[in-house]
Structure formats: structure tokens, C-alpha cells
Copies of this chain bind each other. A is one copy, B any other.
């Protein structure tokens, strides 16, 4: 007997508590925020999409190949990256029919049950593409054809989706040596979508990045500064930050292995920089240099008003064999235990009490929420807490974030949601999950008589819309 294909739907009450009291409150709260425009102050979409407005290629290239959340799970269960057509480090790719790769994905879609990818993908299938049959091996081709056909239509071009998604502002992330040509093209095009950049200088700050030497050279060329001289190097940063701000940037972002900061004298910093650029720096020097540069970036933020973001605590490219064959960003990054209390003190000793400086902290180490981050954000005027990040950007993780930061940081020292994604089509899904989880969390507080409904309603709007706008100066 051949089984019928299974219908699926997005339940209107998904992620709300099943307790009737709480669900009723959550529904009311959600009704007030469901339709608010999306503020996306931190993410990794490609600005070329919005500059060129070219159609996306097919289901596999759009949804599978670029999403390391997806292929890492498949890989963990023994499916090779070549089977999925993931590009190799040298730019080559196994000769894979995208439809065949999609079939493998579909046959293994059950592996994602309960994960955020499952929710995001189903949301995309349902709401963006109007699919109403569950993805599985038997429906793989139907999905592939349906999605690929849709992508050829005008209403699935990037700008049309941007508008359909009601995105008020979308930040991308570029390195200092990026020309920002796509952002310029977007503005020149007359299209009204607000796509801004963010200054992400890791490439010219981390001496251990394999592209550091070449990036530094380009940094000098593009700015006309002597970037092998400490003062010239700082001037180059100032120039590029100003250029980024002209292109809409309101923030910088820093992805460091640790949260270490330093507060060296100008003379010490200059000597350290000399060792670094002459290739004489030790591993400790590299760490100290990154640490000092966070403090330098903070100093510049005080000057130019860019909000600073710190995303520390990741062991990149942990899988040696995979890195050698497939390169970076292949799902082999792992969280590390992270210290903030000691690490941030040098920076905070200088700028922690500045009311006009904002440093938004993220973590991959949830044990720091109640022990370090919330107590710090609940005291220092400069500190704010970014939302649950990366491995923790799931309903359970979002709930833990609120539950563990509320008592010491409250709601107002947090900054709303970041989707932090390169999966453009999933942006509405991700914001919807965040809004639903926050409404569910608030509903519990109301149902347990810790907040009145009017207070929760106000907070729901703050978390979904106002806090990110204020925090990121949007």
C-alpha cells in the first residue's frame, strides 16, 4: 500500500504554551507585533542580491548549499559534502545534479525534527512558496520543481521578497577592504529598500587569519595610509569607518576567539603592532593585538557614534580534514567557554561609564548569561545584551536567554532580535519565531501575575521593534 503524502501547515498558535490561560495572553500579545516591520540590524545576506535583483537559481542553490546549519546536520549523519554539491576550498565542486542533492536532503529531512532549521525551512516552504505537502523523499521532486519554477517569477526576485517580507532595514556585514559597490548600486538605483552595511574589520585585525597580510596591503591601498605604521593603521580604520557610515552603517562587528580586551599605552601598542606587521608576533601577541584593537575600536565608536558588537568564543574550523578540503564556514565551528568579567575590564575601565558608547555583547556560552552578562549589562551604562546567538538561536535557547538574563538585566538592557543569517528567505521565519517566543515568555509572566497585560503589551512591541531601532540607532 502506498501511503498518502502528508499535508502540513504552520499552526497559528505554534510556539505558544498549550496552557489555555497563557495561550490566550500570548495570542493577544502576538497580534500586536506579528505585523510590525522587520528590523534586521545584524546579518550576512549578500548585497549583490539587492543590487542586481537577479533571480535565484534553484531550490538547492538557494536553500541547501549556502546554509551550513542544514548541511552540517546531514554531514553528521554520514552524508558527504560532495553528495550535496558543497564547493571545495579550491573552488571546484563535485559534479552533482542539484536535483539529486535536493533528493538526499528531502530523504533526510526527518533528521531536523525539533531543530530551528526545521521550523525555518517549513515556514519558507509554507509561507514563501505556498507548499502544503510535507517534504520527504517522495515529495522531493515536486518540491524541487515547484520552488525552482517560482524563483523564475518576478515576485520571487530579491527586491520583491524584501518588500513582501516588510523589511524596514537590513544590515549586511562587510570587511574594511570591501568597496561597498553593491550598497552604492542599491542607492543609485532609486529602489527604496534600506540595505545598510556594518564594519567588520576582523580580516585586518586578526594576525592569525590567513588573509591578514594581503588584506592589510589592500587596506593600505584603498585608504592611501601607511598601514604598516601604527598611527597610519589607525587612521585607515577611521577613514573606512567614516566611509561605511556614509553607506549607512550604524555599527561595527567583531568576531574574536575570546572577549579579551587590553588597554596598552600608545607606545606599547605601537611596538606590538610593529612585531605583528613584521611577522614577528607570537600567538600571545596576536591575542593581545586583537584585545587592544577592541579598545581602539571602542575609542573610535565614541568619536563616530558607531555601535559596537562583539561576537566572541568560537573555535573556527575545528575539523582539520574538512577545512583542508572544503575551507571555512562549513559547519565545523564550535563554541568555547568564554570569560567576560576579566576579559572586558580593560575596555570597561576606559569606556564602561560612557553614556554615549554602546557595546552589544553576544555569547556562545550560555553559562555566562546569569553569571556574567546579565549582571554586567545591569550595571554598566555602555553594555547591552545581544539576543541568543547561533547555536542558541532556537526557541529553547531564546527562552533560556530571557529566563537567565531577566532578573539582573531586565528587558531594557537587551536589544531585541538579530537574525544573523545569510539565508535571506528565512528572515521572516526567524523574526516570527523570536516574536512568538518573546510573547510566550511575557504571557507566562502575566499568567503568573508578575506583569499586567498592558505592561506586557508595551514590552512585546519594545522587544520586536523599538529596542533594536534604539540600540542600533536605526
User: Using a CB–CB distance below 8 Å, which chain A residues touch chain B?
Assistant: 6, 8, 10-11, 13-19, 21-22, 72-73, 75-78, 110-116, 118-119, 315, 318-322, 331-332, 334-337, 339, 341-342, 345, 348-349, 352-353, 355, 364-367, 370-372, 374-381, 383, 391-392, 394-397, 403-404, 406-413, 444-445, 447-452, 454-455, 458-459
Closest residue on chain B to residue A436 by CB atoms: B448
Q: Find chain B residues with CB under 8 A from A459 CB.
A: 113
Contact B335–A381 (Cβ < 8 Å): no
What are 10 of the A-B contact pairs (CB < 8 Å)? Answer: A13-B449, A14-B449, A15-B449, A15-B450, A75-B381, A76-B378, A112-B410, A332-B379, A335-B341, A366-B371
Q: Which are the 10 A-B pairs with shortest beta-carbon distances?
A: A394-B407, A11-B449, A18-B447, A14-B449, A18-B21, A78-B355, A367-B367, A335-B371, A320-B349, A114-B406
Take A114-B410, A353-B319, A379-B332 as given contacts and tell me if A374 and B391 are in contact as well, using a CB distance cutoff of 8 Å: yes
Residues on B with C-beta less than 8 A from A8 are 452
Chain B residues within 8 Å of A376, by CB:
334
Contact A413/B455 with A72-B379, A349-B321, A376-B334 known, Cβ cut-off 8 Å:
no
A345 to B376 alpha-carbon distance, docked (Å) = 31
Tell me, in angstroms, the Cα distance from A315 to B341 when the chains sit together: 8
Contact A113 B410 (CB under 8 A): yes
Contact of A371 among B72, B110, B367, B377 (CB under 8 A): B367
B residues within 8 A CB of A331? 379
Interface centre among A339, A380, A394 (most CB of B within 10 A): A380
> Which residue from B319, B337, B448 sits with its C-beta under 8 Å from A352?
B319
- Within the complex, what minimum Cβ distance (angstroms) separates A27 from chain B? 13
Is there contact, CB below 8 Å, between B367 and A391? no
User: A397: which B residues are within 8 A, CB to CB?
Assistant: 370, 407
Roughly how many angstroms separate A322 CA and B115 CA in the complex, as a whole number?
A: 44
Residues of B contacting A411 with CB < 8 Å? 113-114
